[in-house]
Amino acid sequence: MSATENTPLAKINSVFTGFGLMHDSMVYWAVVAGLALLGGMIGDSYVHHILILVFIWCIVIASWDLILGYAGIFNYAQLVFFTFGAYGSAMLSIYAGLSPLLAIAAAAGIGAVIGLIVAMPSLRLKGEYVALFTFAVHLALPPLIQQGKAIGMGGNTGLLGIPWLNLFGYQVSSIDKLTWYWVALAFGAVCVYLIYFIVLRGRMGLAFIAMRDADTFAQAIGVNEYKYKMLAFVVSAVFTAVAGGLYAHYTSVVTPKVLGTEFFLMAMVMLAIGGMGRFPGAVLGVFIVVIGNELLRSFDDFRLLLLGVAVVLTVIFLPNGVAGLFAKRK
């Protein structure tokens, strides 16, 4: 206990890089700045589109990594949070006329509530029970969205014509890829920074590591397991819901397809290939998978099968993902 009190928490070094917070932050923002510049240099709007998706995915996967990789909770309801964020933000801006940015903020609130609701039963369970329960929530959601047609969830066709983002009076249309590129990068960079540099290097991250690596020890030194696991759910859900909202306003369409096999598989492959609980593994995983997935477009029929194969092979042969490769070389 005294050790944690005497050590300024911000000084805890990343397990991955081994450097201090300042150093890592500077590297991080330099990379983000580089990506921002890169956006201006890219002329192809299709490439912009792919990278916009990458940035949105980064938020989802970083949030998932927070709960699955760092907190060690086998949560598979991540896309449920995403869906609530997307639908919530879309409906608030369509029906309540909320400006999209406000709607996204409200979606974050919805995410917190949903995170809490999913967390409560989950935290009474252990290990793989959590996995199954949360995945069951994921599977049970599409029929409920069907039922939600009555309250304006659009059923199978989903919601169309979701308002564009409005930045200081400027409408950012889906066609304006370059602006969207910077918007998505800004959202992605801030969220990922908050997750890995603020939350996970703070008291919460420390508690997670203690719980994951030495459960009884963590309890002995007074880490309130229930509280921190609950927080993990809520924080993870909030960020994921923001990503969902962003996605809704970018594509201006949300359908139950966000809960389909493709998205779920993509998310799994990203985390598996990147490596769980080893920043920046998961984020790298997003880049690799989204770009790889685009390169595989020509194999469209086999794409999902290949994604499944990729999950199995990486888990068996590269159990710590790409991040594991780097760690070995160190």
Partner 1 sequence: MTQILEILISGITQGAVYCVVAVGLSLVYGASRILNFAHGSLYSLGGFLAWYLVVGGPGIPLWLAFLLILPVLALTGVVIERAVIRPLRGSDNWKINTIMVTLGLAFIIENGLQLVFGPGTRTIPPFVEGSLSISGITITWYKLSIFVISLALVGALELFLSSTRYGQAVRAVSQDMQGANQVGINVNQVFSTTFALSVVLTGVAGILLAPVFLVSPLGGWAPFLKAFVIVVLGGLGSTKGAFVAAFILAVLEAFVIFYIGPSWAMPAWLLMLIIVLMVRPKGLFGVWEN
Sequence-distant (6+) residues with CB within 8 A of 298 are: none
Q: Is 42 left (phi over 0), alpha (psi -120 to 50) or beta?
A: beta
Residue 89's alpha-carbon distances to 4, 136, 244, 252, in angstroms, are 40, 24, 8, 11
The one among 30, 38, 312, 325 contacting partner 1 by CB under 8 A: 312
Sequence-distant (6+) residues with CB within 8 A of 141 are: 80, 83, 256, 259
Q: Minimal distance in Å, beta carbon 246 to partner 1?
A: 26
Site for partner 1 in 22-81 (CB under 8 A): 68, 74, 76
The one among 38, 116, 140, 214 contacting partner 1 by CB under 8 A: 140
Q: Which residue has the tokens 């995403």?
A: 82
Nearer to partner 1, 40 or 215 (CB): 215
Q: From CA 225, how far away is CA 235, in angstroms rounded?
A: 15
The 10 Å Cβ neighbour count of residue 327 is 15
Considering the rule CB under 8 A, would residue 325 count as an interface residue with partner 1? no
Q: From CA 171, how far away is CA 183, in angstroms rounded?
A: 12
The one among 45, 315, 326, 327 contacting partner 1 by CB under 8 A: 315
For partner 1, which stretch binds (CB under 8 A), given 139-147, 151-159, 160-168, 175-183? 139-147
Q: Establish how many alpha carbons lie within 13 A of residue 209's alpha carbon, considering only the half-sphere containing its beta carbon.
A: 15
Considering the rule CB under 8 A, would residue 21 count as an interface residue with partner 1? no
Q: Minimal distance in Å, beta carbon 36 to partner 1?
A: 34
Considering the rule CB under 8 A, would residue 136 count as an interface residue with partner 1? yes
Considering the rule CB under 8 A, would residue 133 count as an interface residue with partner 1? yes
Kindly list the residues in this chain that would bind partner 1 in the complex (CB under 8 A): 68, 74, 76, 121, 124-125, 127-129, 131-133, 135-137, 139-140, 143-144, 146-147, 261, 265, 268, 272, 276, 301-302, 304-305, 307-312, 315-316, 319
